[in-house]
Amino acid sequence: MKSILLSVIFLFATLVAVSQKKAPKPTWESLFNGKTLKGWTELNGKSTYEAKNGTIVGTTVLNTPNSFLCTNKLYTNFILEYDVKVDEQLNSGVQIRSESLKEYQNGRVHGYQVEIDPSSRAWSAGIYDEGRRGWLNPLDKNKTAGAAFKHNDWNHYRVEAIGDTIRTWINGVAAANLIDDMTHTGFIGLQVHHATKAGLQVSWKNLRIITKNPEKFKTPTTAPLYNTIPNNLSEDEINNGWKLLWDGKTTQGWRGVGKKPFPAKGWVIENHELKEVHGDPKAGPSGGDIVTIDEYSNFELSVDWKITRGANSGIKYFITEAYKDPSVGCEFQILDDAVHPDAKLGINGDRTCGSLYDLIPAVANKKVNPVGEWNQARIIVKGNHVEHWLNGMKVVEYERTGQMFQTIFNTSKFKNFAGFGAAPQGHILLQDHGNDVAFRNVKIRVL
């Protein structure tokens, strides 16, 4: 009995030893020797930088553009950590995968910036594209991270830049979660933003980096995902069951409503967008509506859409093609409310953007981006329960069977379509209403 017990103990100890041996340990490299600025070069502005008491201190100077103290070495995939303290009157940031090219605005520093923001906006650790596209991952959807910043004190940052993914944390709180493929290699730079007051300071210390197998030390994140790559699924989205309904390149998976082939005209694929194109808006639909080949019952659908002035379109679901008009079904209305006359028709605004068309109006405080800018529609169906979301806000919620829906249905233009909205499953439809409209990032997951 004693020998068996000893064998078990030995086996357990061996397993523990093996598991500990397999767990890799990161190799950290210091970016700052604590005494000099060796390995760094200042670019663009004239603000000052000095090594002082184990920190790098940047100080504002009047009448100078943004200044950057940049590593001489370039980095691709890495995990970066640092501590920073900033004057309450000063905005700053840390550049990653950034560049300074003579052919680009005469050497202006540009690239991803991890924000240092003591203002009331509180977007510290958000990701800004300095000198190029502006905000890529603000923190307007992540108030928890915004509240994590410590004023007049040191803040700890973690940045993981691996492949197309950039993730950040501030004081241990998940902040940004960005997928973007514009730049994969560049320097790290410490910014002193131009200011209206001289002598403001921002300080950094404990700058260290992992460049050897950083993917082995990735941290799980709860931060909302911002994916700027059109028609792309992140690793997390794939793991959560999402799939692309449109691949961004072909018409695979789609056909004309009530037809077998995809329309020969009216729809084009251009710049990663699926577009309805019409030479004369008064001529009406030219290619006709398109539907998915597959049918869906319980699902979450996400679609980015962009309209032209006065445009009308829609995203329909539970399309069965069983009626004389095969396009009849529940519709997430897409409309230029300010110009198109349909916005003033129907009952109580039930034909405005985001509404369940001609049945249930979207909430009055909805947020619609201007004509020419992208909006996001989300449709969630769980059994009889349906929700419409517009740019992150729930704008419609209803049960598609029951007395309440029947009452609304009886006053709508669909009252003669028996069984409207009650099908157990159906196709997804993108509407051709005779106007120029673009779609992208059409994706779905079955619930």
Q: Residue 5: what pLDDT?
A: 52
Q: Residue 402: what pLDDT?
A: 86
Tens of pLDDT, residues 313-323: 999 999 999 99
* DSSP one-letter string for 339-353: T-GGGGSSSTTTTST
Q: Residue 278: what pLDDT?
A: 77
Q: Residue 249: what pLDDT?
A: 95
CB 71 within 8 A of CB 189: yes
Residue 69 token pair: 């103290």
- The whole-angstrom separation of Cα 51 and Cα 205 is 10
Q: pTM of the full predicted structure?
A: 0.80
Smallest Cα–Cα separation from 98: which of 43, 175, 174? Answer: 43
- The pairing of strands 134-137 and 375-382 is unpaired
Architecture of domain 235-446: Sandwich (2.60)
Where are the domain boundaries for CATH 2.60.120.560 in the chain? 29-227, 235-446
What are 195-199's contacts with CB under 8 Å, separation 24+? 195/60, 195/62, 195/89, 195/90, 196/62, 197/60, 197/62, 197/89, 198/59, 198/60, 198/61, 198/62, 199/59, 199/60
Q: Residue 15: what pLDDT?
A: 53
Q: Please give the average pLDDT of every successive group of 10 residues along the chain, which has 447 residues.
A: 53 53 85 96 96 97 96 98 97 97 96 97 97 95 95 98 97 97 97 95 98 96 93 90 97 96 94 84 71 98 96 97 96 97 95 98 95 96 97 95 92 94 96 94 97
Give CATH superfamily name and number for 29-227.
Answer: Exo-inulinase; domain 1 (2.60.120.560)
Q: What is the side-by-side order of every strand in the sheet holding 312-319?
A: 254-256, 290-292, 427-430, 312-319, 330-335
Q: Residue 412: what pLDDT?
A: 94
Distance from the first to the final alpha carbon of the chain: 53
CB 313 within 8 A of CB 435: yes
Q: Residue 93: what pLDDT?
A: 98
Q: Residue 235: what pLDDT?
A: 85
How many residues would you count in the chain? 447
Tens of pLDDT, residues 277-298: 875 555 555 789 999 999 999 9
